[in-house]
Amino acid sequence: MGDRTDPRREKKSAGEAFVRLGMMTLHSIWALLRIIGFFAGGVLRMLWYMLRQCGRLFRWIGSVLRFSFAEHNRPAQEILQDVRHARKEGGRQVWHQFLRLLGNYIFGEHGILRTGFNYVLPVISVVFLIGVVHYASGLDYAISVVCNGEEIGLIEEQSDFEEAEEEVRQRVAMAGEELEMDLHPVYSLRIVSDSDRYLSKQSIADKLLAGSDADLTEAYGVYVDGEFLGAVEDTAAISDGMASALDAYATGLDDLVDEVYYTKEIAYQEGIYLTKSLSDPKEILKILTAETQQESRYAVQKTDSPELVAAKYDMTLEELTKLNPEITERFETGMLLRVTTVSRYIPIAHTRDLTMTSYIGYPTVRVETAALNLGVEKVLSKGVIGERSSQVKVTYIDGAESSREVLHTAVIREPIPEQIGVGTYSAQPASTSTVLTGTGEFGWPVNGGYISDTFISDRNHKGLDIAAPMGTEIYAGAAGTVYTAGWNSGGYGNYVIIDHPDGYRTYYAHCSRVVCYAGQEVEKGQLIAYVGSTGDSTGPHCHFEVRVDNIPVDPASYLRVNAG
């Protein structure tokens, strides 16, 4: 026989597992309680320790007070005892002991005067210390620099002297010399008064050079963004030449230019310089105005045009086309174009304030509509792009666009969303074998059913009969206004007529019940009646007609079902 599982063993195993699970749960709860108890106990122990320390402090204060009181009280008790003895001896002894008691109480070792002085003196000392600190904190301090045993002057920070050292090295290096100078200063703090003045790095450098044995002269140092370029005796030629170069650059620009300026700061510092560092102002001016022309590459952006690229690099369209003849045939995003750029020793920047129009893309909104059959999508209304006007400050450096800053933006025209209709009209024949390939202007009007009689049948039929079970829903084939709804004595029974645009009318006849009223606005797919067999009818069906200018036409030409 094959192995057979003992039900009692299974029951026992299940019981053991349940017991193990219960024990694990109890162990977990116990461990959690121990952890909570540990932390709670730690907090309680800390509070108990603090209370014990506070108790010890109060006991110490009490013992000091008691000791002090006892020390003060002991001599008084001794003197009072002497006074009692003196009373027995006579009145003169009493006064003698009383005066002794009073003197000891006021001037004695534990008397009021000495005790008060012992308590007041520490308070006075603390107040005095606070006053000294307050006074000292209100003073101004500076760093006094001593070099080669001589005080150079006062500086605010140690870095000021370090910058002066670098300034000296630049001046010496420009002259091509090496000076042996002891540049190991000694710093100390000093209280300064209103008459004291701090030294600049140039002044410190002048004093350091003045202490050397080099051949020195008074001149003007030329600095570009803080870097020493050379020394000249007169700066007029340099400043005039730089201004002329800037004016010449501005002359070649259009009227839209807002400002023209050098991107680096040119400064002239009067001071002491090595005679060998003196330069001809014309040579310095030549260095400052030096420029080189070079060719570089530019990747065409999505919003670029040939004219825009030429403007970015301060080129004419003819110059750009000469370097890139292929742009006359194609101009695409990502193309690498050759452009000409100018590089100057001191770049020149200019700005333009431009008014630029940009377009705002329109969003797409999907709208469910019963005007379209289920699964059909159609653009209901086209979107319209918006327009935005922006005031932009464009900065160019050496003719090439460097940055743009939007100063102001205003929307000229808001975008209009594009509406895409998503069909939800789901009424279809009961069988997929019913195929109609009409325009789809009207929807299948019955929730199911099948065609039981066609248009212009052997009995001159004016519509399309759709047979369906009694009470099946009948929907409006398209949006419109209910022209009439109710009973027709001419054979239609309960019927509905709906007016549609462009002279169209639809009829729904032989209904069991009508659920709309004359004058009501209805949408495509809206419930208007139920299938019946009222009027001249031999069975439950919906007689569906389509009329154009009151002339019956074949409804199949306007229905599209199962046609793919």
Position 157 in a domain: yes
Position 270 in a domain: no
Q: Based on the domain organization, do 524 and 460 belong to the same domain?
A: yes
Hey, which residues does 13 pair with through a beta bridge? none
Q: Based on the domain organization, do 446 and 548 belong to the same domain?
A: yes
Ordered DSSP codes for 464-476: EEEE--TT-EEE-
Q: Based on the domain organization, do 474 and 506 belong to the same domain?
A: yes
Count structural domains, the chain. Answer: 4
Ordered DSSP codes for 10-50: HHHHHHHHHHHHHHHHHHHHHHHHHHHHHHHHHHHHHHHHH
Listed residues 214, 235, 262: the one ending a domain: 214
Structure token pair of residue 147: 């070099």
CATH of residue 460's domain is 2.70.70.10
Phi, psi dihedral angles at 187 (to 5 degrees): -105, 145
Sequence-ordered alpha helix ranges (H) in 90-200? 91-107, 112-137, 158-175
Q: Do the beta carbons of residue 238 and residue 281 sit within 8 Å?
A: yes
Could you give the angle at the alpha carbon of 336 between the alpha carbons of 389 and 260, nearest 5°?
Answer: 50
Q: Based on the domain organization, do 480 and 551 belong to the same domain?
A: yes
Say how many CA atoms lie within 13 Å of 9 toward its Cβ: 3
Position 512 in a domain: yes
Per-residue pLDDT, 518: 96
Identity (one letter) of the amino acid at 242? Answer: M
Q: Which of 317, 343, 312, 316 is nearest to 328 (CA)?
A: 317
Q: Based on the domain organization, do 98 and 168 belong to the same domain?
A: no
Q: Do the beta carbons of residue 524 and residue 477 sit within 8 Å?
A: yes
Q: Based on the domain organization, do 145 and 124 belong to the same domain?
A: no
Q: Which of 360, 544, 527 is nearest to 442 (CA)?
A: 544
Q: Which of 300, 263, 262, 303 is nearest to 392 (CA)?
A: 303
Rg value, the chain, Cα: 54
Cβ-Cβ contacts under 8 Å for 267 (sequence gap 6 or more): 222, 223, 226
Give the mean pLDDT per block of 10 residues along the chain (564 residues). 43 51 61 60 63 67 54 58 59 61 61 57 56 52 63 66 70 63 60 67 70 77 87 91 89 80 90 83 90 82 83 82 88 86 86 86 90 82 93 86 88 94 89 92 94 86 95 95 95 97 96 97 94 95 96 94 80
As a residue count, the chain comes to 564
Q: Based on the domain organization, do 470 and 401 belong to the same domain?
A: no
Hey, which residues does 337 pair with through a beta bridge? 298
Per-residue pLDDT, 270: 86
DSSP structure class, residue 363: P
Residue with tokens 């059913």: 449
The Cα–Cα gap between 423 and 1 comes to 68
What region, left, alpha or beta, does residue 516 occupy, with left being phi > 0 and alpha being psi -120 to 50 degrees?
beta
Position 122 in a domain: yes
The Cα–Cα gap between 494 and 499 comes to 17
Per-residue pLDDT, 399: 78
Q: Based on the domain organization, do 375 and 471 belong to the same domain?
A: no
The Cα–Cα gap between 469 and 540 comes to 6
Per-residue pLDDT, 145: 64
The Cα–Cα gap between 350 and 258 comes to 7
Per-residue pLDDT, 333: 85
CATH of residue 363's domain is 2.20.230.10
DSSP SS3 for 413: strand
Q: Which of 249, 219, 391, 267 is nearest to 314 (CA)?
A: 249
Residue 237, Cβ density class (10 Å: 0-12 exposed, 13-18 middle, ≥19 buried)? middle
Per-residue pLDDT, 416: 94
Listed residues 426, 451, 471: the one ending a domain: 426
Position 309 in a domain: no
Residue 415, Cβ density class (10 Å: 0-12 exposed, 13-18 middle, ≥19 buried)? middle
What is the domain extent for residue 359? Answer: 351-426
The Cα–Cα gap between 241 and 243 comes to 5
Structure token pair of residue 66: 């008691």
Per-residue pLDDT, 469: 97
Element spanning 274, H or E:
strand 266-274
Phi, psi dihedral angles at 482 (to 5 degrees): -65, 120
Ordered DSSP codes for 448-465: S-EEEE-TT-TT---SEE
Position 552 in a domain: yes
Position 257 in a domain: no
Q: Based on the domain organization, do 128 and 160 belong to the same domain?
A: no
Listed residues 386, 409, 426: the one ending a domain: 426
Q: Do the beta carbons of residue 277 and residue 217 sit within 8 Å?
A: no
Q: Based on the domain organization, do 455 and 546 belong to the same domain?
A: yes
Position 310 in a domain: no
Hey, which residues does 504 pair with through a beta bridge? 500, 548
Per-residue pLDDT, 370: 80
Q: Based on the domain organization, do 446 and 555 belong to the same domain?
A: yes
Q: Which of 561, 490, 562, 481 is nearest to 528 (CA)?
A: 481
Q: Based on the domain organization, do 451 and 515 belong to the same domain?
A: yes
